[in-house]
Every structure is written in C-alpha cells, then in structure tokens.
Chains A and B, each alone.
Chain A
C-alpha cells in the first residue's frame, strides 16, 4: 500500500487508489479527473499539502454562497451611510460585516444600479467573479456564449434572462479581470419600506448581483 492520498472517506465512488476492488469506478472518472487524482496523490506524498488541507478548502469554498452578498446588499439598502461606504471603500465596508478581501489583488468594486444606469458584469477572458460573496460562479457565467455576447448585445442577453430594460436606462457592461472584480448593488424594489434587513436579503439573488436580473419583489420572494 503506497497510495499516500487516501481520503476515500470523502469519496464514495471515485475509485480512489488501492482501496477499491477494481477498475469499475475508475472507468467512470474522466481522463482529467484521473489526472487530477494523480497530481493530488503526488502533492500529498511530497508533503506539499495534506488531504486535510484540501478537504478543509473544499468545505470553505462550499460554505460561500450568494447569501453572503445578499446580506451585504440588504445592509446597504437598509442603511444609506453603509451604502455610501460600500460604494466608496468596499474593503472597509465588507470588513464591518466580517468579510475580508485579499490585501493584494483582486480588488473589488461595488457598482450601483439605478433608474438611469444598469450594470452588467462579465469576465470575457475567463471567470473572474467575487467568489467570497457569491460562491462559485454559475456555469453560464463561464460559458463561451455569455462571455461573447454580453459585451456586444447586453440588452439581448438581459432579455434572455427576462429583463427588458427601456431605452431610457443606460446599460454599462463591466469586464472583470484577475485584478478587479465587481459586485452589483441591485435597485431596492418598491414597496419594501417595512421589511427587516433579513427580509430584504431574501429579495437579493445571485443573478441580481451580477446584473443579469433585478432583485425580486416581495411578492415573488414570498416575503
């Protein structure tokens, strides 16, 4: 038994190494999945990292979700002074709520959607995205079609997502980079004056923080 990366407890069916009876599970893993397994096994054997570190990171990444970004947006809606800080100094404003951004890059910019201007975020080169506030990006965000079309036909893309903006609203497309990512502060829906911050957060969807949709109305969210 020389397989050093024995973390089969995390993988029920990955055919991981020598603990499994045969090739059946292996055959279900794609070439790249098996390539990744070989690299992980070597990284662990060479003590570059441990299976525990990798598993802990999986769990850390899994724990992030759009609920984090929604909490920030709801605070901004509820507190105009917080909103001003979020737009002008996002790092400090996020730290107030316990979200720390890297000291170097990527930086985060928060952009406000209004009755006059609608922002839409894309990463035409790859998948830059504020993962610490929104979780992992959805498949479509990384898709070749979204990356191609968002910058040349943003209104068409928005219509595809169900948002038909009048010509009076300017559309600004922001292209993320590895150094600068964006969070959209969606417009606060009408008729939400009496809602608590937690109820407001229920209206804030992942897609509204990318700018492909608006926040949900209380009726739609069932708040």
Chain B
C-alpha cells in the first residue's frame, strides 16, 4: 500500500470537484511565509513536502491544502530550532485571550 500522499492510481471513482475557493487572508499569508523563508534559506520545497508527507494519514486526508502547509511550517520551524513548541503554544494561547 503506498503512503497517503502518493495518490497516483489510488482507487477512487470520485468526480473531480472543480469548484475553486477564494483564498482566505491566512492562507495567503501562510503561502507567503513559506516563500519568504525560502528566500532566506530557511525552507526548501523538498523538506516541506517531506514534512507534509509525515502527517498522520487520517489528518492528511481531512486537512485542507493550506492547513497541511501550516502543519508543515510548524514541523520545519521546530526541526530547525527557529521556534520551540513551547513558544508557539504560549503565543497561540496569548493571542486567544480577549483584551
């Protein structure tokens, strides 16, 4: 059985949903963050794909495209020691709090 990302020939009769969604601001910023970090030498396409491919299959199947990109960004930033999980968790919680 191929891994979850390796979709070529994966058995499915599902029609191709050709509807396109307008990207949300956060999706455009995640896209841009990946590209800015690439230009700074902090992220490469291959390692980003490898990070996406390391997501648990059940998550991979249900996440949207830029959700996968966000998860991959976090994986890479932690691996490279740019950010720590504790820092991200703390800032995440801090930004959740009302004024």
Interface residues of A (CB under 8 A from B): 3, 10-11, 14, 17-18, 20-23, 26, 29-30, 32-43, 46, 48-49, 53-55, 57-58, 60-62, 105-106, 122, 124-128, 136, 138-140, 142-152, 157, 160-161, 175, 178
Contact = CB atoms under 8 A, between A and B. Distances in A.
Interface string B24-48: 1111111111011100101001100
Contacts of B65: 127, 139, 142
Given A39-B83, A61-B28, A144-B7, A21 B96 contact: no
A36 B33 contact: yes
B37 A49 contact: yes
Interface residues of B, number: 58
A151 B11 CA distance: 11
Contacts of B25: 10-11, 14
Contact of B70 (A32, A60, A105, A152): A32
Contacts of B91: 38-39, 41-42
A145 B70 contact: no
Nearest 7 Cβ contacts at the A-B interface: A124-B8, A57-B32, A147-B7, A33-B26, A38-B92, A148-B10, A38-B91
A138 B65 CA distance: 11
Contacts of A55: 32
Contact of B83 (A34, A43, A148): A43
A136 B14 CA distance: 23
A53 to B, nearest CB: 5
A145 B32 CA distance: 26
A182 to B, nearest CB: 15
Contact of A40 (B18, B31, B33, B45): B33
B80 to A, nearest CB: 10
Interface in B46-99: 46, 49, 52-53, 61, 63-67, 70-71, 73-74, 77, 82-83, 87-88, 91-92, 95-96, 98-99
B46 to A, nearest CB: 5
A34 to B, nearest CB: 6
A20 B99 CA distance: 7
29 contacts: A14-B26, A20-B99, A21-B98, A22-B99, A32-B70, A33-B26, A33-B70, A38-B88, A38-B91, A39-B33, A39-B88, A40-B33, A42-B87, A43-B77, A48-B82, A57-B35, A106-B45, A126-B52, A139-B19, A140-B16, A140-B18, A144-B10, A144-B14, A148-B10, A148-B11, A149-B14, A160-B15, A175-B8, A178-B45
